[in-house]
Amino acid sequence: MRDINIDRILSLHTKAPLVDLHADTFSMSKDSPRFVEGSFETKLDLPRMFEVGLWAEAFSLFVYPKWGDEIPEKWREIAHKQLIGIESAIASSGGKLRLARNSTELLENRNNGAVSAIIEVEGLHSLCGNLEDINMLFNRGVRIFTLTWNNSNDWATSCMDPSANSKGLTALGEEAVRKIDALGGLIDFSHSGEKTFWETMSIIRKPPICTHSCCMSLQTSPRNLTDEQICAIIDKQGIIGVNFYPGFLSPKDKSEVTSADIVDHIEHIVSLGGEENVGLGSDFDGVSYLPTDISDCHGLVNITREMIIRGFDEETLLRVLGGNFLRVFQ
């Protein structure tokens, strides 16, 4: 049973659609041509997306707070350069990589033989408190807005902040959330503190998402979601992309963590009623370690294989691989 034909797996990826909700590839590599041509310095590039059947990747605009000499205006400049990098890759791909601002465009891209780039900004600190930047980013195709990274900012409190349970959105953050939601952007709660989570959940009308998070019940970490949070996301018809980082997946040593641990988190969300609310959020090129059987995006086949082994029916499997996100990405 464990010797599942790779052709069967890739056939499922063709049907899925296969979507990954978070990668830092353009934040860590500034060389757009290498992404288009193929670069084994990263975990993900255009040729490998086609090889594994990855229909779409959500690429982050991420600025590590220590970059730019920790000067906020430089953060804004760095994020802008990353956005130009994604736009340049799209322009130089010969039509093989295209922007997707919603599920309709993603499916149209696929029908035209292209894979899709979804753009998200990770941590609103790079906006430097400028509400107008939300309009600018939305107009250039950004559709996912992650409120914080590991640092709190002008808008919201991070899960890594000691006051995460007592401080949430600022007044500016509440205004930003309402603006993003009204525009049609998706609020991403990965990295958000718990008070930020609950305050924001009471505001938004669009489905909530966590692009790269795991389950607190299986591994204790400030970055992981409690069952109460998971159920709230399910109730609001949102989605959770399970993160591949070993430290979020399991208390085991990183050398013992495999794709089976990822599927454990998928199964836990499903057990809470989240069959239509779970997906994949690898964090490729954003984490220092991956499960032992996932060296790069080719390793996605091992997650699919594990779900087949555990008896996921095809309808559920296709939802997890990407169908659930298509429902949310309107």
Which has the higher per-residue pLDDT, 33 or 9?
9
HSE, side-chain direction, 13 A CA sphere, residue 23: 25
Residue 113 phi, psi dihedral angles, 5° rounding: 80, 20
Residue 118 phi, psi dihedral angles, 5° rounding: -100, 140
| Percentage of residues of the chain with pLDDT beyond 90 | 94
CB-based contact 180:189 (threshold 8 Å): no
What is 6-328's CATH number?
3.20.20.140
Rounded to two decimals, what is the model's pTM? 0.97
The 10s digit of each residue's pLDDT in 69-108 is 889 899 999 999 999 999 999 999 999 999 999 999 999 9
Whole-angstrom Cα distance, residue 292 to residue 295? 7
Question: At 180, is the secondary structure helix, strand, or coil?
Answer: helix
Average pLDDT of the chain to the nearest whole number: 96
The count of other CB atoms within 10 Å of the CB of residue 3 is 5
The 10s digit of each residue's pLDDT in 151-164 is 999 999 999 999 99
Q: What is the largest CA-CA distance in the chain?
A: 55
Q: Name the residue ranges covered by the structural domains of the chain.
A: 6-328
The count of other CB atoms within 10 Å of the CB of residue 192 is 31
Question: At 17, is the secondary structure helix, strand, or coil?
Answer: coil
pLDDT at residue 39, as a whole number: 85
Q: What is the DSSP letter of 215?
A: B
Looking up tokens 């059947």, which residue turns up?
Answer: 53
